[in-house]
Amino acid sequence: MKKCLNMSFVLTLLLILAGCELLKQSELPIKSESNNINYAQYYLLLAKLSDENIIDKIHQVQLISHDKNQPNMQNKNNNALNIEQQFKSVLLFALPNSPIHNPFTAKSKLNQLSLDNLKDVHLTYTDFAFFNMLKSQLNQQILLLNQLSLENKALNLINKTSQHQQDKIESLQQQIIQLKKIESNINEHGQ
């Protein structure tokens, strides 16, 4: 009898554990649709697309992000899909051949994705490393663009100063010509 009770206890425990495992597996698709996305591969895919296809991807990301408040979606899933779209948006802004290429916007969007937001999304170590590398690259691009902007401002100032100096030289040359004419007239009338 005792053996029978132990056996039924073990079977009941196994059934409960199996049920819990099934519940965990049914939650996986809701938990993160982004598990299926390898963002580094997605970026490489984007890099190979034509301008028209990139524009289509931009429209897809924009449409999905505007449609994120679907009533039949759970909050956790909605947040995961929203973050997935934000990551895709970051990649579209970071892509050099994208018509909306803008490292400032890409970096800003990447900074907006806080750790609290990411709790509903499963990022692999590869994805995490990829986005850290992307953040470093965007920082470098921004620094270079800022440096280029400062150098362009300096070059414009040099060009303005140079033009101002050139205008002064031309004015002085005109004055020298006028003075030579006056001198020439004085020499002619003085003789």
Q: State the Cα–Cα distance between residues 109 and 113, nearest whole angstrom.
A: 7
What pLDDT was estimated at residue 116?
60
Q: What are 15-29's pLDDT values in tens digits?
A: 565 555 544 433 333
Query: Which residue is it, tokens 């999304």?
Result: 121
What pLDDT was estimated at residue 175?
94
Q: What are 16-70's pLDDT values in tens digits?
A: 655 555 444 333 332 334 456 888 888 999 999 888 898 888 888 877 666 555 5
Please name the residues in contact with 62: beta carbons below 8 A apart, sequence gap of 6 or more. Answer: none
Tell me the two tokens of residue 154: 């300096």
Backbone dihedral angles phi then psi of residue 102, each to the nearest 5 degrees: -160, 100
Tell me the two tokens of residue 119: 């709790």
**pLDDT over threshold 60, residue 7:** no
Q: How many CA atoms lie within 13 A of 118 on its CB side?
A: 13
Q: State the Cα–Cα distance between residues 124 and 76, nearest whole angstrom.
A: 18
* Residue 9 CA from chain centroid, whole number: 56
Q: What are 92-148's pLDDT values in tens digits?
A: 999 998 888 999 999 998 888 866 666 667 778 888 888 889 999 999 999 999 999
Taken as a whole, the chain contains a residue count of 191
Query: Which residue is it, tokens 């909306």?
Result: 100
pTM of the model: 0.60
The domain locations on the chain are 2-147
